[in-house]
Structure 1
Amino acid sequence: MRIEAEQITRIFGTAKAVDAASFVIDRPMVVGIIGSSGAGKSTLLRMVNRLTDASQGRLLIDGRDVLALTGRDKRAWQADCAMIFQQFNLVPRLDVVSNVLHGLLNKRGLLPTLLNIWSRPDIDRACQILDRLGIAEQATKRAEALSGGQQQRVAIARALMQDPRIILADEPIASLDPMNAQIVMDTLRRIHDEDGRTVIANLHTLDTARRYCDRVIGMRKGRIVFDGTPDLLTTGAARDIYGAGAEFSEATTSTALAPPAPADRAYADRLLAD
């Protein structure tokens, strides 16, 4: 699958939340989008999924402009392009399996969904996905009874239920502790490696982007200011993304996979928090 973004722009009032963003993804990979709060990362993902309309530009998926789709074609694209949110967006009082099955909403009628009526093959598939993600034992529990990390894995399972070609993750680990954040990122990476799906994620720190991504896009004030492989995320590149006044420790800009020392990690997380 080939993704071509051409001058995608979103204007709110007089402000450009995303300003002429262009990039090409010519094969399945894990792409991280980084940048300060307000850089336009979430708006960009929401335009890709059509939750927010673009003011101008084109997004070609294998040559078809998905920004121009309407009605049934638009809903079909949204089923093909699953979205994972920072706050999980589960139905708290429903059991885990039902939440996963809601990934089929764009492919079935409204009445069966409202009545929570599902076929046995669909239920079996939802349970298989939960088992794959290591949370099958939570299937009958209410979503609200799960930890944050478990809820995010349920959200990932719901996305997989759509059988999408692309998974978009909007700050998927920003609300999680370090252990659960690692589990969630390991899960997203494994989904790409095993399924060959494209994963595009807004991420919290340079360290996370380096660990998990094949490619990193840096945004600042709505514009793409960096687009390259993780090894090119030098101190200079980081300053282009986060501002010339920012200072970065060696641990923060190192390409090594080993985590920085606790003091440096705390400083980096505070500096790069989104």
Structure 2
Amino acid sequence: MLRIEQLTKTFGRNTAVDRATLQVERPMMIGVIGRSGAGKSTLLRMLNRLEEASSGTIHFEGRQVSGLEGRAKRAWQADCAMIFQQFNLVPRMDVVSNVLHGTLNRRSTLASLFNLYPQADIYRAIDILERLGIAEHAPKRAEALSGGQQQRVAIARALMQDPKIILADEPIASLDPMNAQVVMQTLRRIHEEDGRMVIANLHTLDTARRYCDRVVGMRDGRIVFDGTPAQLTLQIAREIYGADASFSEEATSTEIAALERGTGRPVPA
């Protein structure tokens, strides 16, 4: 379904992603973990074509998407929706209009300029907001919502694209534990109910273990682990993060119970 071969991205003399190779045979929820600077965000941005690869290829459903240009590239970006840590909403615009921005890739320039949306799209946007539990906020400005609610609006915008893949770049890094759980549960439910592939960069091990079918570990731009959550042992986690024996998985917890005990301190992403 998705095949990444020897994908590399360099910035001058620095290599952000180093010959990453990954194959995904079916829709899964995949968590990508690693320290800050490991190459996680760059990998997702190359998949979405926000960053151009220095070398290597990306294939999806038998088609090479890493070389697409123009309209074909925009169509791929619609199929491969991106969710960002900082939401990337228009703060002073109402929630439903932010969600409708998910249709921009398939609308004319004139319609986009004057914010003209078919009634069917408006109804669909409200239905998606209802599904995510925030329909009552549709007429409000995005800036009036909490961080967790804004991230669900961003997820709704991604769903408006009707994508085959959802890429989430640190979707819970700026959220409190309660909202983080709501957002991760939402992404998991979308994967299970819609059969969509979800690939999320995550900054804590317990989140990857709890919500993902597969975990990919990156260190210094390279994929150094690819397996199930059960295979992600403490020793392997230490190797991914480049940590010594003092590294404790409990110290990376975002679970509310652990935080209430005063033991939860997120590892830097």
Which TM-score tier does this pair reach, normalised by the shorter chain? Answer: over 0.9
> What is the CA distance between 1:263 and its match in structure 2?
3.2
> What is the CA distance between 1:90 and its match in structure 2?
0.3
Instruction: Find the counterpart in structure 2 of residue 38 from structure 1.
Output: 37
C-alpha separation between the residues in 2 aligned to 1:94 and 1:246?
49
Aligned-residue sequence identity (percent) comes to: 69
Q: Give the counterpart of 2:268 among 259, 270, 273.
A: 273
C-alpha separation between the residues in 2 aligned to 1:83 and 1:258?
27
Which AA in structure 2 matches 1:214? D
Instruction: Find the counterpart in structure 2 of residue 102 from structure 1.
Output: 101
> What is the CA distance between 1:26 and its match in structure 2?
0.5
Instruction: Find the counterpart in structure 2 of residue 209 from structure 1.
Output: 208
Q: Secondary structure at the match of 1:47?
A: helix
Q: Cα deviations across residues 37-71 of structure 1 (Å, max 9, x unaligned)?
A: 00000000000000000000011111211111011
Q: How does 1:1-274 map to 2 (within 5 A)?
A: 2-245=1-244, 247-249=246-248, 251=250, 260=258, 262-266=261-265, 269=266, 272-274=267-269
C-alpha separation between the residues in 2 aligned to 1:206 and 1:229?
12
TM-score where L is the length of structure 1: 0.94
Q: Secondary structure at the match of 1:5?
A: strand
Q: Secondary structure at the match of 1:263?
A: coil
Q: Cα deviations across residues 198-253 of structure 1 (Å, max 9, x unaligned)?
A: 00000010010001000000000000011000011111111110004363336469
RMSD between superposed Cα atoms in Å:
1.6
Q: Secondary structure at the match of 1:140?
A: coil
Which AA in structure 1 matches 2:50? L
Q: Secondary structure at the match of 2:133?
A: coil
Q: Secondary structure at the match of 1:118?
A: coil
Q: Are the equivalent residues in 1 in contact too, given 2:178–2:256 (CA < 8 A)?
A: no
TM-score where L is the length of structure 2: 0.96
Q: Cα deviations across residues 147-184 of structure 1 (Å, max 9, x unaligned)?
A: 10000000000000000000000000001000000000
| Aligned positions, number | 267
C-alpha separation between the residues in 2 aligned to 1:250 and 1:41?
20
Q: Are the equivalent residues in 2 in contact too, given 1:5–1:59 (CA < 8 A)?
A: yes
Which AA in structure 2 matches 1:134? G
Q: Are the equivalent residues in 2 in contact too, given 1:9–1:16 (CA < 8 A)?
A: yes
Which AA in structure 2 matches 1:10? K
Which consecutive segments of 4 or more residues in structure 1 shift more than 4 A? none
> What is the CA distance between 1:265 and its match in structure 2?
1.7
Which AA in structure 2 matches 1:242? Y
Q: Are the equivalent residues in 1 in contact too, given 2:205–2:249 (CA < 8 A)?
A: no
Q: Secondary structure at the match of 1:68?
A: coil
Which AA in structure 1 matches 2:195? G
Q: Are the equivalent residues in 2 in contact too, given 1:149–1:184 (CA < 8 A)?
A: yes
> What is the CA distance between 1:10 and its match in structure 2?
0.1
C-alpha separation between the residues in 1 aligned to 2:113 and 2:185?
34
The 1:246/1:96 distance shift into structure 2, 3 A limit, reads farther
Tell me, which stretches of 5 or more residues in structure 2 are unaligned?
none
C-alpha separation between the residues in 1 aligned to 2:250 and 2:11?
37
C-alpha separation between the residues in 1 aligned to 2:125 and 2:163?
14
C-alpha separation between the residues in 1 aligned to 2:140 and 2:189?
25
C-alpha separation between the residues in 2 aligned to 1:74 and 1:100?
21
C-alpha separation between the residues in 1 aligned to 2:11 and 2:246?
31
C-alpha separation between the residues in 2 aligned to 1:39 and 1:67?
21
